[in-house]
Structure 1
């Protein structure tokens, strides 16, 4: 029986520590050589691969790495599903009221809808670890796997959320249909008056979008905009006055995204919008399968990691992108 004098938080911490210890023992020895009590701590997946889900604390550390590489997750709407796909209705037109006289006939108005389908796709990689490192008690197995897998999954996700074509991977912001664009007026540069172009772009979106929107660009493009001034000589980009605050462009935060393209012909180097209009679908979290056999002759153990994730724009009218074109 549990000790009633022990706070619930302490019990949770003890359970998390037991899960981490069990996962490390599993990684070093395999399920066949584990203590049965430790083995019971693991969560066994029911899929055909017979993999084992990482402990909760381990999974959270991986997710932290993904957010570092993929800032879209920090702003987009993220949904976890338990099915192969999810269908969401999208309203196309709404009701409309008209002025009428006291006894005039009223006009009918209808709402119309379409159905948007979101499908998660599989993202996978594997890491080989030598038996000697696995047997070394001083080796931070959990930290090393978290760093490797976090980097691999994070970089791949980030690229897909920006420029994925939707075939076997999420559909990115720059590829999604229906997003309006503004041209720079020059085939290869930001034009003769880029500050005016940026200001016009900001005021072309609805007010509700402008109030919640963020600017998306890579660090090179950000550097090119730092010297721009409006017609009165004021810089349109401002550095934060408090530590930790974001750099702002026309009062809205700039989200640096390494996967946004540089300024070049026909490229879309800058985007503005409310990222709640982009939906990320997670089917399953990170799962890890330990394979001690296929690489046994090389003295290594292979860890297969996988997750299923999808993404697409739900509200194209919340975004606007800048195209380098005349």
Structure 2
């Protein structure tokens, strides 16, 4: 539910069309054609190792190419909670500035995962300030009108669950083995949930699934015209050219990765072609296009190396 400042519309082409594929991808992900805006370089700063261990579960999952699928999947699932969707519908600029919203989310993920505790807390506070004005009313799954705020416990819980599930499942399909397995990732990312004031974030894969199922079993989720609007928007590539083609594959991958009942609620069907294999190819091409330039992890390792040398 993060709002973002205006940014050139990627759908319009223009200057973006003259950028290389790598520059276009990095602009979409980091808001910078070199992939190293100030907040990425700041990962090298700080006086502690941060919340997550180097090359641990969170580092590996969030550094994998499966995150390109996970972001789409998370938005699809989050849309099923009418309260979370109301916040996005009423306050987010996702229609006018889809890339800005994407880079805002990526920034929070990378700062919390790879930054010092001070940077992670500062970034979380920045997101919190954006959320202070987010409030309104929505029609709940039982048909009753309810008020919402961005920090309501059920809404922050749902957003956390959808995020953790999307990144975990996408990595399981298209990523390397997770150190410590799925339970380690869920337990580690519970720390981020606590930063966002999730009252009881899950700490195991089974608990994650149980909490997700609970929202559905209690009738808190629903599909309506707003959900259909989000699905139509996400189905349409926010890019042109090769990135547009790749996005269509990533969207199909996000749909294919969903359990059947989630797909049914969203009104989506799995594509009739080998999605998993095709996605693996697209992710490999994307990784090659990004090249071997410095990544968030590299700046974080500079901080860890400096701290190790100081001791």
Question: TM-score, normalising length from structure 1?
Answer: 0.22
Max radius of gyration: which structure?
Answer: 1
Question: TM-score, normalising length from structure 2?
Answer: 0.23
More RCO (CA 8 Å, sep 6+)? 2
